[in-house]
Every structure is written in structure tokens, then in C-alpha cells.
Amino acid sequence: NFDFANNPWSVFNTVCAGYRDMLVSMLLKVVAPLALLMLILITHFSTKLLEAMKLLSAAWNPDITVNVYFSLLFTFFAGVAAMSLEIFKCTNNPNDISTLSSDQSVICGSSDWR
């Protein structure tokens, strides 16, 4: 199953972690690229520190840092784009109520959906 290619956050089960709410789940998905940026920046500055302490021969230069971040973002671009449009994907149910495709508990047009 290659669901992680379309949704890289599917490897982390937010429902299992207690985040069943659709709003919290969406916020975690939005914050994930920022968390990735923070991790890459920490790595960048850690290599600078290790180089200053003479424990590492060469640190990452800013070009490498930017390249790593945007390469990872580009790799998962399809998933990020699909996730950004996920809030608009509604499916019809047999009871003539449209619900969100990714979370069947959210009725399209309701206050939770807006």
C-alpha cells in the first residue's frame, strides 16, 4: 500500500494518538512542514556548532540546508497539494447527507466543516 506517497502523514496515526477531531488532525498536518523545517534548521546549526568545536570537518552551508528542505517538500508535493484540497472533498451518503471524504463524522456545510 503506497498511501504514504499521497499522504506522508499517514504513517502517523493521529486517531491512535487521541486526536480524533478533524480540526486537530488538519492542524497537525499543516504544522508538519514547519516541524520539518525546524528539524532541518536544528541540524544545520548543530553542524555549525560541531565544526566550531572541531568535531566535524565541514558544516552544512545554507545552500545545502535550503536544498534539503525543498527537496523533501518537492518529494511530497503531491501529498501536500492533496491534503490542502482535502477539506473540499465531500461524498454523498445513502441518507442524502454529504460528509467529508477523509472524516465521515463531519457533515459538509456544517459548523465543523467551516
Confidence of residue 28 (pLDDT cuts 50, 70, 90): confident
Inter-residue contact 7 to 102 (CB < 8 Å): no
Question: Which of these, 94, 92, 95, 88, lies nearest to 113 by C-alpha position?
Answer: 88
What are the tens digits of pLDDT across the range 90-114? 888 888 888 877 777 778 877 766 6
CA distance 46 to 52: 10
Instruction: Tell me, yes or no, if the pTM score tops 0.75.
Output: no
The span from the CA of 69 to the CA of 61, in Å, is 13
